[in-house]
Structure 1
Amino acid sequence: MSVNVRGFSRRRDGINSWEHRAALNVATIRRSAPDVIGAQELRPESLATYRAQLPEYSCVIGPGAGRPASPEFNAILFDPARLQVLETGGFWLSETPDRLSSAWRARIARSANWVLFSTPDAVPFLHLNTHLDHLSGLARLRGSDLLVRRITALRDGDDLPTVVTGDFNCRPGSAPYRRFADAGFRDTALAAGGHERETGTFHAFHGFRHAVLNRVDALRGARRIDWILVAGGRQRLRVEDHAVVRDHDASTGMFPSDHYPVLSTLAVSG
């Protein structure tokens, strides 16, 4: 699962404040029951909620991003009964990736978090989780270049099954998307038989009404900006299914987040 948690609140949020939707957010994760989750915008308050209400998951927080006074994490949560951690690491999306920094006109510091897992059948796979900048197209492009280079180095020439989750803040067909595609990554939404311009994942707490309320999205197509990408291990990694998880509370109009989570079923074999 990949989910932009939006695990913080603004004064104007009202019903969409984290304190009001936290239980629905947790219930959505528990109902989907993923083995591993790439969570973006996980803040201290939402991290505390997950630790208290999702004790069945362990968490690799990764390097802090955002602003110093308001940090956020691209955390990777996983079921320790299903997956074993072999190695972890992370870096910032900048020209100095090994220290807290930002670059390329990014509004805030951005980061990537990765875990090398082993399955119950002792099949290793790499999971990287990230969040590209929401304003700077240059930061998204240079960030995706850096991500591909770092993933290539981590795989060290091996055909290691690799999963990338994230909020990429751009649509399929964009330059960052093509950068991953050129590096051999497959979009699980398409690999499972979907279409490039299918239902968007960002909805600003409006659900299906977002495309109607937002003229740009109505013209350019749905904002499918949350992706799960896979590469390598073609004999060991198979995409079986993909879904946009549209959970909401019909009685209150509340959503778990301003993004829909995305969920892929992947078969990993030895």
Structure 2
Amino acid sequence: MLKSLLILLSISLSTFAVMAQSDALTVATFNIRYDNPNDAPDTWENRKDIVANLILFHGFDIFGIQEGLFHQVNDLDKRLPNHRFVGVGRDDGGEKGEFSAIFYDHQQFQVLNSGTFWLAPETDHPNKGWDAALPRICSWAKMVAIGSGEHFYVFNTHFDHRGVEARKQSARVILEKIREINTGSLPVILTGDFNVGQETETYEQLRTAEGMKDSFDAAETVYANNGTTNSFDTSKSTDRIIDHIFVSEDIEVRKYGILTDTYHGRFPSDHFPVMAVISW
């Protein structure tokens, strides 16, 4: 009898542990590097399977990419059978230019609404803002978790690499748009390559925004032994983090990690993906 009770208790505890993890969601941001033939041998043709397998292995439920051209987005779409994506090219609002696409596991989540706005004084059409070198965008999606019915928003962006004022103003625009779009005060996930480190005013602008926090600060477990860029050079390293995942105050962050995976002494991209395990 005692042995039977112990077995039942063990099964119950195991079931509880599984149930406790079932509400966990793995989100990520990943600058996959645009398809540049001058990157040889680190061309997209050599990296696309590696990038897709990295995503599958680490189990990204929802993730934002940066720098993906239309064919790169489609390459990932083909290699991630359970994922769908939303987003448009920044140059024409269609297929031209880099995407800040949001990929999601369509077996777990449904997109209820989505869109893209430009990081510029005029947010509704392709244009450059302030001192930016290039047009910059933020794509977003309102989603519902199929199992729990939880509604939430995901925003994904890529700030300009040159314009200091553009980055500052881009942060302001995104925070304003989040308030404008998220009228129901739902949970928010904001991912991206912000091209700003944790020492900058623009980063502080985002980290200290009302109702928001950096998953790096909030995580129960942090695995960040490197910065987030590598320039495809394994002989150098940095501690500077410019790719971030911000979340609403009402989201619990269980884990945060910068994934420095390699293959045959090479990197899958010139940025490392940043991953967070969160729950409502």
Measure the CA separation in 1 of the matches of 2:196 and 2:90: 22
Does structure 2 conserve the Cα–Cα contact (< 8 Å) formed by 1:113 and 1:129? Answer: yes
Measure the CA separation in 1 of the matches of 2:220 and 2:174: 26
Measure the CA separation in 1 of the matches of 2:202 and 2:88: 22
Does structure 2 conserve the Cα–Cα contact (< 8 Å) formed by 1:94 and 1:104? Answer: yes
Measure the CA separation in 2 of the matches of 1:64 and 1:223: 26
Give the one of 170, 173, 177 matched to 1:143.
Answer: 170
SS at match of 2:60: coil
Measure the CA separation in 1 of the matches of 2:123 and 2:93: 16
Is 1:58 the equivalent of 2:75?
A: no
Does structure 2 conserve the Cα–Cα contact (< 8 Å) formed by 1:67 and 1:109? Answer: no
Does structure 2 conserve the Cα–Cα contact (< 8 Å) formed by 1:170 and 1:225? Answer: yes
C-alpha deviation, 1:210, in angstroms: 2.3
Identity, % of aligned positions? 28
Give the one of 21, 28, 33 matched to 2:59.
Answer: 33
Give the one of 248, 252, 261 matched to 1:231.
Answer: 248
Matched residue type, 1:176: T
Is 1:260 the equivalent of 2:277?
A: no
Measure the CA separation in 1 of the matches of 2:93 and 2:144: 33
Counting matched residue pairs gives 251
SS at match of 1:128: strand
Matched residue type, 2:178: I
1:214 alignment counterpart? none
Measure the CA separation in 2 of the matches of 1:66 and 1:85: 23
Measure the CA separation in 1 of the matches of 2:87 and 2:63: 12
C-alpha deviation, 1:159, in angstroms: 3.3
Give the one of 228, 244, 259 matched to 1:245.
Answer: 259
Matched residue type, 2:213: R
Q: 1:32 to 1:5 in 2, by over 3 A?
A: same
1:191 alignment counterpart? 218
Give the one of 120, 131, 142 matched to 2:158.
Answer: 131
Q: Provide the alpha-carbon RMSD of the alignment.
A: 2.2
Does structure 1 conserve the Cα–Cα contact (< 8 Å) formed by 2:89 and 2:96? Answer: no
Matched residue type, 2:179: T
Q: 1:230 to 1:110 in 2, by over 3 A?
A: same
CA deviations on 1:117-142 (whole Å, 9 max, x unpaired) are 11121111110000000011110000
SS at match of 1:74: coil
SS at match of 1:210: coil
Does structure 1 conserve the Cα–Cα contact (< 8 Å) formed by 2:89 and 2:97? Answer: no
SS at match of 2:236: helix
Is 1:167 the equivalent of 2:193?
A: yes
C-alpha deviation, 1:44, in angstroms: 2.2
Matched residue type, 1:108: L
Does structure 2 conserve the Cα–Cα contact (< 8 Å) formed by 1:74 and 1:131? Answer: yes
Structure 2 residue runs of 5 or longer lacking an equivalent are: 1-27
C-alpha deviation, 1:149, in angstroms: 0.5
1:93 alignment counterpart? 119
Is 1:154 the equivalent of 2:171?
A: no
Q: 1:204 to 1:67 in 2, by over 3 A?
A: farther
Measure the CA separation in 2 of the matches of 1:198 and 1:137: 27
CA deviations on 1:162-212 (whole Å, 9 max, x unpaired) are 0000000010131221111231321111211578x96200111124x323x
Farther-moved stretch of structure 1 (185-194 vs 170-179): 185-194
Measure the CA separation in 1 of the matches of 2:104 and 2:231: 27
C-alpha deviation, 1:51, in angstroms: 2.1
CA deviations on 1:85-110 (whole Å, 9 max, x unpaired) are 11111100001100110111111100
Measure the CA separation in 1 of the matches of 2:120 and 2:85: 25
